[in-house]
Each structure stands twice: as C-alpha cells, then as structure tokens.
C-alpha cells in the first residue's frame, strides 16, 4: 500500500501536478522503513527526465572571507570568527586555470563564486574577462554566483557568455530574518528574476538544517517550483565553528534522502544537485542520493573540503550511471 502511495506521487509529478502541502509533509515525515520506496518513486521521475546521467559541477572560491553580510551559516561573513583565507577577487589567469581543473575533473559546469552583497565594477570586469577567455578556449558551461546584481551587471555577464547564475533562496521566507539581516528574501527572488530576464539560466537552492520546520522545507520546494529555477542545489548545513550556527546539529542521512526525494517530486524536470554538506550529512548513504538528484559538486566547496574527485567518479560508476560531459 505504501509503495502505491509513493508511486502515485511519482505519477502525479510526471503528469505536471504539484504535490499538496500534506503530501509533501508525508514524504518528510515518513518512517525510515519507507525510504527505499520513496527513493524508488523519486528515481521513477529522475529517470524519466535524466536517465542515468549525472551532471558534475566544480566551484572556485573567487573571493574569500571579506563579506559584509551577516549570514549565520557562512564562515566568510562579517560575524564569523572561523579561520578562513581572506583574499580579493582572483585574477583572470587564476580563474581560467580553475576552468582547466574543472575540465580535468570531468565537470561540465564551472562555478565562479564570490562572497559579498554584490560585485564591484572592478570585480565584475575581472570575471567578465575570465569568462570570455574560458568561452573561447574550453567547452565548459559557466555559472556565476556574485551576489545581488544590478540590471547592467546582469546584462554584462550574459553578454560575456555566462550560461547560468546562482542565487540561492537558502531558507524559507518566514525563517529568513533568523539567518541574515543584511538583505531580504525578496531581494534574492528579485535577483533570480533579473537573471531570467537577461537570458541566463536561473540556479537557486536551499540549505537544510538551519532551524526550519518540515512545512517550511515543503514551502521552499514550492517557492523554487514557482520561481522556475532550472537548477536547484540542495545544501545540508555543515556547521562551522565560529559561525552563529556552529551548534546546529547535522541532518540525519535518512532525512537528507527524504528531502532530496521531495524536491525531485515537487520540481520533477529540474536539475536537483546534492551540494554542500553532503559528505558530513549523507555520509555512507551518498550513493543513494543520486536516485533523486542528477547532479553533484566535485572537489572542495567554498571554505570546506569535499571528498576526493575519484570517489565521486567511483560512486557514479558503481551505480551504473554515467557522467554527462559538458552538460548545463
């Protein structure tokens, strides 16, 4: 009977119908004995849209530790005492070298990420110059994540050849003031809409484990469906000593799988990426995540270490899945 219920959710997703709030909650609150059946339902949807292909993404931390924002989860924020590297925007040569490393790791998308409220003109120029050279010399897709954009900045990035722009919602609208006070949830939404308007693919996701309720997790999935984000990174908080959220507990591996399944069922055709914190939250269950997600970050994150790239390649091979090269 339970399997019929989860497969009904899969059929509903494939027909274009959105799960109800109650149905979404039932995924998150299901007994752990149901997890494999839930993942099977998620895989029914994932396989329909993406087969067994896995998209790989690589991040470069293009500017570190100098952020004026007060985001409680971030080691680079102004309120953090975590010992992180501090440097201004990397030069063009270093950003281009990072793209070559992404190619070596079989990543199809190279993500240029800089902490801050938004880029200065000098910083934007450095990114634009690097993007142009990468586009001319490598078959990579490029994603930029530089904070809140002005209209002309979005236009310049699109003209330079940026394929995708990331600006995460991070948490629910109701939970937002408890996470940061230096910008608003609505400003995040406005930036994603601006990105879409200028022809870049919108990427926006969440961080699970920041005090949100189950209902708020479902609401986040609904918000991203409404926003029509093409790519949805699902991060699981990696609580860093020295940040306001340093004492937050980890998300259990089984709950993390249910969250990934929920986002697949609510946003069936979208790229669902298991992102930051997967190593410390999913732990040995990481391979199961790819039955719902179809995308991974490979290598290190912004200020935390990922696992060996060879381990990710091995997971994909052992599952009988395949890397989708040069995929957006």
Q: Quick check: helix, strand or coil at residue 237?
A: coil
214-227 and 21-28 helices, crossing angle to 10°: 120
Which of 132, 128, 134, 137 shows the shortest CA–CA distance to 110? 134
The whole-angstrom separation of Cα 112 and Cα 131 is 9
Catalytic annotation, pick one of 164, 264, 273, 278: 273
Q: Is 267 annotated as catalytic?
A: no
Of 46, 71, 156, 278, which is the active-site residue? 71
Look at residues 24, 28, 35 and name the one whose alpha carbon lies nearest to residue 2: 35
Give the pair of three-digit tokens for residue 308: 């060996």
Give yes or no: 145 in active site: no
164-166 and 141-145 strand pairing: parallel
Q: Is 203 annotated as a binding residue?
A: yes
To the query of whether residue 143 is one of the catalytic residues in this protein, the response is: yes
Catalytic pick among 67, 164, 188, 278: 67
Q: Which residues pair with 234 in a beta bridge?
A: 206, 274
Backbone angles phi, psi at 241, to 5 degrees: -55, 135
Residue 273, marked binder: yes
For the chain, first and last CA: distance in Å? 38
Q: Which of 143, 156, 164, 278 is catalytic?
A: 143
d(CA 255, CA 55): 23
Cα–Cα nearest to 217, from 208, 227, 226: 208
Helix H or strand E segment including 55 = strand 53-63
As beta bridge partners, residue 296 has 56, 274
Given the residues 145, 164, 188, 203, the one annotated as active site: 203
- Is 111 flagged in the annotation as binding? yes
Q: Does 67 appear as a known binding residue?
A: yes
Q: Which residues are catalytic?
A: 67, 71, 74, 111, 143, 203, 273
Residue ranges at the known binding site:
67, 71, 74, 111, 143, 203, 273
Residue ranges at the known binding site for [2Fe-2S] cluster:
111, 143, 203, 273
Residue ranges at the known binding site for [4Fe-4S] cluster:
67, 71, 74
């Amino acid at each position: 009977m339970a399997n019929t219920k989860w497969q009904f959710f899969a059929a509903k997703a494939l027909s274009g119908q959105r799960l109800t709030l109650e149905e979404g909650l039932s995924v998150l609150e299901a007994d752990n004995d149901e997890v494999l059946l839930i993942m099977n339902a998620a895989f029914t949807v994932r396989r329909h849209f993406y087969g067994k292909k896995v998209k790989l993404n690589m991040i470069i931390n293009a500017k570190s530790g100098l952020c004026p924002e007060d985001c409680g989860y971030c080691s680079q924020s102004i309120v953090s005492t975590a010992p992180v590297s501090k440097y201004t925007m990397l030069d063009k040569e270093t950003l281009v070298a990072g793209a070559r490393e992404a190619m070596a790791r079989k990543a199809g998308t190279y993500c240029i990420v800089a902490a801050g409220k938004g880029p200065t003109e000098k910083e934007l120029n450095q990114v634009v110059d690097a993007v142009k050279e990468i586009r001319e010399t490598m078959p990579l897709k490029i994603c930029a994540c530089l904070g809140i954009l002005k209209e002309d900045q979005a236009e310049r990035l699109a003209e330079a050849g940026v394929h995708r722009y990331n600006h995460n919602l991070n948490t629910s609208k109701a939970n937002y003031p408890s996470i940061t006070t230096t910008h608003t949830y609505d400003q995040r939404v406005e930036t994603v809409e601006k990105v879409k308007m200028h022809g870049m693919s919108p990427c926006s996701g969440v961080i699970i484990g920041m005090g949100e309720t189950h209902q708020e997790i479902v609401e986040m999935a609904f918000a991203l469906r409404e926003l029509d984000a093409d790519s949805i990174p699902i991060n699981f908080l990696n609580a860093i000593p020295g940040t306001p959220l340093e004492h937050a507990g980890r998300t259990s591996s089984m709950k993390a799988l249910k969250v990934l399944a929920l986002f697949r069922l609510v946003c069936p055709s979208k790229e669902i990426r298991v992102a930051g914190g997967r190593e410390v939250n999913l732990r040995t269950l990481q391979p199961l995540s790819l039955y719902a997600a179809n995308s991974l970050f490979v290598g290190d994150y912004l200020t935390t270490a990922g696992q060996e790239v060879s381990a990710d390649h091995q997971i994909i091979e052992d599952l009988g899945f395949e890397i989708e090269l040069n995929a957006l």
